[in-house]
Amino acid sequence: MQALINAQTSVIIFKTNIETDQDLNKIALLLNTENRIRKWSVDREDIDHVLRIESEGVDENKIKQKVEYAGFLCEDLID
Amino acid sequence: MRMRDESKELAIREKAIEMIVQKGFDGLSMQKLAKAANVSPATIYIYYKDRDDLIVQLWVEEMDKMVAAILKGFDPDMSFEEGLRLQWMNRARFSMENQLSNHFMEQIKYSPYNIACQKKMNKEFLSAMRDFVHNAIKRKELIKLPMEVYWSVAYAPLYQLVKMHMMGRGLAGTENFKLDQKMMEQTLQLVIKALKP
């Protein structure tokens, strides 16, 4: 799901299976190279292991593909 | 793409505070909160990145609300007596009218979240209180004291009375304790007397 939090920033939210520190490092390699991503985090305490990305309008599907390509589950969190 | 929804944000905040007050920090999860606030977990994640982030942001918002109420009509240049009286009135009123919020802020104070929260302390509030004290010392209406000692004499008596008022009980289980204007003024006069040079 993508939502606008202010004029410049949108938030994308996915359900994932990112769990370990190792997983997190893998994801960091992917996301830290995306220029338009401002902030991202994974809530590993939650059952949905929610990946949250604040960006200046990055393509939701592109991110999803990248995360899936790295071997993780990455689904829309049902609204 | 969706836009921010303020009524949902408000529902999330209110329910979260209610859950924390009733069940403690561990009683709150994003999933339970979503159910209670009647929104989807995805909606909560638009605003907050995780539970810890939610809790700290709740504190910041409640603190801002409290500061607005406390500083209403207040000017750091007021005489010490006049300023402290207004502070007492504003603080007592806010505490009595916002019990959940108060309870939540107390819980934070005694939790590991306190460190993260203190870093986000409202600057306007800190400087107003600091200026008020410094002005009073300069005008020789107030003695110089370590900050904690000053606070404990100037405000702790009020908060204790408010607490007993809200429980409706005085010492030794006396029932129907009520803090009234006269009692507050009596206590305030004692405090001012103690703090005068």
Overall number of domains in chain A: 1
State pTM to two decimals: 0.84
B161 and B76 together in one domain: yes
B151 and B177 together in one domain: yes
- Residue at B3 is within a domain: yes
pLDDT in tens, chain B (197 residues): 566 678 888 999 999 999 999 999 999 999 999 999 999 999 999 999 999 999 999 999 999 999 999 999 999 999 999 999 999 999 999 999 999 999 999 999 999 999 999 999 999 999 999 999 999 999 999 999 999 999 999 999 999 999 999 988 888 777 788 999 999 999 999 999 999 99
DSSP B111-158: STHHHHHHTT--HHHHHHHHHHHHHHHHTTSS----HHHHHHHHTHHH
* Residue A17: domain span: 2-76
Instruction: State the amino acid at position B7 in one-letter form.
Output: S
Closest in A6, A52, A78 to B45, CB measured:
A52
Q: Mind telling me how many Å the CA of B121 is from chain A's nearest CA?
A: 23
Closest in B1, B45, B50 to A10, CB measured:
B1
Residues forming a β-bridge with B74? none
* Residue B20: domain span: 1-48
Contact: B46, A11; criterion CB under 8 Å: yes
Residue of A nearest to B43 (CA): A79
- Residue at B157 is within a domain: yes
Asked if the model's pLDDT at residue A5 lies above 80, the reply is no
The ipTM is 0.83
Q: How many CB atoms lie within 10 A of CB B20?
A: 23
B74 and B131 together in one domain: yes
- Residue at B56 is within a domain: no
Q: What average pLDDT does this structure show over A12-27?
A: 95
CA distance A67 to B113: 32
